[in-house]
């Protein structure tokens, strides 16, 4: 296959690896400044590319890789190697129609994102943001609501992939009563034992968890997975944490659950309409909000970029991908 590669976005941390690859392969940065210019360039300037290295920075100027965009890609394009674990900005169905295979970076984000989930759980339990704000206003503990201990709680993990399992490992030292999980597919018994995980169905997890942490990917099936009805199933004073994708939770329903006291606290690193945040979350004293920093460390970013470049080399040299998205694993497990 042709070895022309187009970088759509940027490579900032694994530049040493990129420099070595540029000595061997034809790799260039996308120079298109707007979405329409990029679509036009795909028919002439980039008509021979075989692989796109895609990072989220490109969304600001070029937009998402939706059906319109993917249909404009040249016939020579065979792979999109994406720098991110969540790939909901790429229309997978449109890629299937064009026989374009997609990879992502699931393992490289596990540690950083799980760490943020732990931070959010602890901050929600101990009412840390309100406490810090009180202190800065000179009020010390006056008017501050007490927190709750993590010990003895039931943690429910929705999505026990790499991040969910890493969170379970992190939380094992907090003397929880139980760590339970719900997954599309149940994990092997050995894996459950390794991470001290107990499998339950979705409704049972909602009804019996004191803390719920969300780690499933966003898709049509998981959009508003947590909605008005799901909040009515949950325990009074439940804590909700989301480091996956904002659209998995209906934010309006979450705000209502916070306001009526069904949800004690919410810890969010992701939002439905990033960078916009629901005003009810911004003003609620028991919401802990972070600006999507799950992988916002130099180590995580380097690991992600390195894995994308590893996928790039695998595609160029062996016509395969190391970490294809779940929908495309079937093409490589032969």
For residue 139, the cross-strand partners are none
Total count of residues recorded for the chain: 334
Given 54, 104, 245, 284, which residue is catalytic? Answer: 245
Separation in Å, CA 212 to CA 150, 205, 259, 267: 12, 8, 18, 10
Q: What are 225-230's contacts with CB under 8 Å, separation 24+?
A: 225/158, 225/249, 226/250, 226/253, 226/254, 227/253, 228/253, 228/256, 230/206
Q: Is 259 a catalytic residue?
A: no
Q: Measure CA 280 to chain center.
A: 23
Given 193, 203, 274, 317, which residue is catalytic? Answer: 274
Separation in Å, CA 180 to CA 125, 224, 249: 18, 21, 20
Burial of 142: CB neighbours in 10 Å, binned 0-12, 13-18, 19+: exposed
Q: Is 245 a catalytic residue?
A: yes
Q: Are 328 and 102 in contact (CB under 8 A)?
A: yes
Q: Which residues contact 306 (CB under 8 A, 6 or more apart)?
A: 14, 17, 108
Q: E strands of the chain, at which residues?
A: 4-8, 26-29, 51-54, 79-82, 101-103, 154-158, 178-182, 198-199, 211-214, 238-242, 263-268, 287-289
Given 35, 207, 292, 302, which residue is catalytic? Answer: 292
d(CA 297, CA 21): 24
Neighbours of 329 (CB within 10 A): 12
d(CA 182, CA 89): 25
d(CA 137, CA 235): 33
Q: Which residues are catalytic?
A: 245, 274, 292
């Amino acid at each position: 296959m042709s070895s022309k590669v187009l970088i759509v976005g940027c490579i900032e941390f694994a530049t040493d690896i990129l420099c070595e690859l540029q000595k061997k392969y034809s790799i260039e940065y996308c120079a298109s400044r707007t979405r329409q210019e990029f679509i036009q360039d795909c028919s002439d300037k980039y008509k021979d590319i075989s692989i796109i290295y895609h990072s989220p920075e490109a969304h600001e100027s070029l937009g998402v890789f939706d059906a319109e965009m993917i249909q404009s890609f040249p016939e020579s394009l065979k792979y999109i190697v994406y720098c991110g674990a969540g790939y909901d900005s790429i229309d997978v169905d449109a890629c299937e129609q064009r026989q374009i295979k997609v990879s992502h970076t699931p393992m490289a984000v596990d540690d950083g994102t799980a760490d943020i989930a732990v931070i959010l759980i602890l901050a929600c339990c101990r009412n840390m943001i309100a406490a810090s704000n009180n202190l800065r206003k000179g009020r010390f503990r006056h008017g501050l609501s007490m927190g709750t201990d993590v010990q003895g709680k039931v943690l429910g993990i929705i999505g026990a992939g790499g991040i969910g399992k890493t969170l379970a490992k992190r939380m094992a030292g907090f003397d929880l009563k139980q760590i339970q999980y719900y997954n599309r597919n149940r994990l092997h018994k050995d894996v459950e034992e390794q991470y001290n995980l107990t499998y339950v169905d979705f409704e049972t997890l909602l009804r019996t968890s004191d803390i719920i942490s969300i780690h499933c990917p966003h898709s049509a099936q998981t959009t508003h997975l947590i909605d008005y009805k799901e909040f009515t199933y949950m325990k009074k004073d439940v804590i909700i944490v989301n480091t996956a994708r904002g659209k998995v939770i209906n934010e309006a329903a979450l705000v209502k659950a916070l306001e009526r006291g069904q949800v004690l606290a919410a810890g969010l690193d992701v939002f439905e309409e990033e960078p916009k945040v629901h005003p009810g979350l911004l003003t609620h004293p028991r919401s802990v909000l972070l600006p999507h920093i799950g992988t916002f460390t130099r180590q995580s970013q380097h690991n992600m970029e390195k894995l994308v470049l590893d996928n790039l080399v695998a595609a160029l040299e062996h016509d395969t991908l190391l970490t294809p998205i779940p929908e495309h694993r079937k093409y490589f497990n032969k």
